[in-house]
Amino acid sequence: MDRASVYLVTGGCGFIGEKIVELLSQQDYIKEVRVFDSVVREEVEKFTTATTHVTVMKGDIQDYNLLLAAMRGVHVVIHTAAIVDYRNTVPFWEMRAVNVGGTENVLRACCVLNIPYVVYTSSIAAVGPNTSQEPMFRGNEDTKYSGEVELPYGKTKAMAEKLVFEANGKKLSNGGKLTTCIIRANAVYGEKATFLQELYLFAKARNGVLNYLEPENTERNYTYVGNVAWMHVLAARNLQLKPDLLAGQVYYSYDDTPRRKAFLIRHELLSSMDPSIRLGSHIPYWKMWLMIQLHRIIRVILYPFWKPQPFLNLPLLNTIVTTFSYETDKASRHFGYKPLCTWEESKHRTAQWLRAAAGNLEPPQFHEKKN
């Protein structure tokens, strides 16, 4: 095996992607990490070390020729680039073009350039909840769960997953074969998590009260961004070392963040940074449903004279109120994954970042290209 591998991270300037690049740059078996992203942040190049060079390249994942040029000489691809949009602020066709079409371009380029290893960053949203709001309670990668996915974003990730699964074992132009695996991220928190900024601003606007939508019997997993990124690094390495074991596999991301009511996790993260943030009350489903319908009516009547800020939609509301949790150690069994940071360390790092950012917080964007 090449002891000086070249890795490419698509979306390496995004939330999860940047953490992956940072950790890859610290591995002595990697000589170069290339970042391909439509939004370039030069500070990512500062991860360069004495043994690993980080190069940031600007480009759209939909531009096949530009992507092909960036991938020449690469040994491993970690594909995180995607439009992440839960509020339906991006047209479905556009999200599909990036999330599905972009994935198709990556896999096609791998076959042409004889790049044998791809780790794909997917999402729990690719599995469910479904449109019937059927719960999944502490399932795992083998749990059977069917039905049409509720969120449009999740639908595009499911389509992309299908491409990645089908590409596994595909013949390369040099006679070799493509080996792929998938990591499904869930609710990811940590430094630069825009949803935490948004929640903090909402709470401060309400005198420090953090209300919530989930019924108290719901359960959902949260994972620290550094641990999600570390799982990618280990999966990519072991895809090279143990391809027969990891080929065609899917792994849920996890760590020791308490698997419990999501609103309690959010409150603990925010109150660790600002003790004045206190937990409020549950907002009934019917009340939020009425607000969503009213917002839709107002938007239709006043458009195009007034374009209100993005608001909660029904698919997202249904997702929030549905239990969707899992319990697994598959990544540990297959490639020795152990979280880099404990829950306490993850909480502390997140609080430190929020505290530093609090002075110049602005309302965050509701969708991003990433991770």
Give the residue numbers marked as catalytic.
153
At residue 49, φ and ψ (nearest 5 deg) are: -120, -175
Helix (H) / strand (E) element for 5: namely strand 5-10
Beta-bridged to residue 53, according to DSSP, are 32
At residue 209, φ and ψ (nearest 5 deg) are: -95, 130
At residue 181, φ and ψ (nearest 5 deg) are: -145, 165
SS3 per-residue string spanning 339-361: CCCCHHHHHHHHHHHHHHHHHHC
- The identity of residue 339, as a single letter, is P
- 82 and 12 in contact (C-beta within 8 Å)? no
Token pair 């074969």 in the structure block, residue: 177
> Which whole-number Å values give the CA distances from 48 to 11, 38, 70, 180, in the listed order?
17, 20, 18, 27
Q: CA-to-CA distance for 331 and 335, rounded, in angstroms?
A: 6
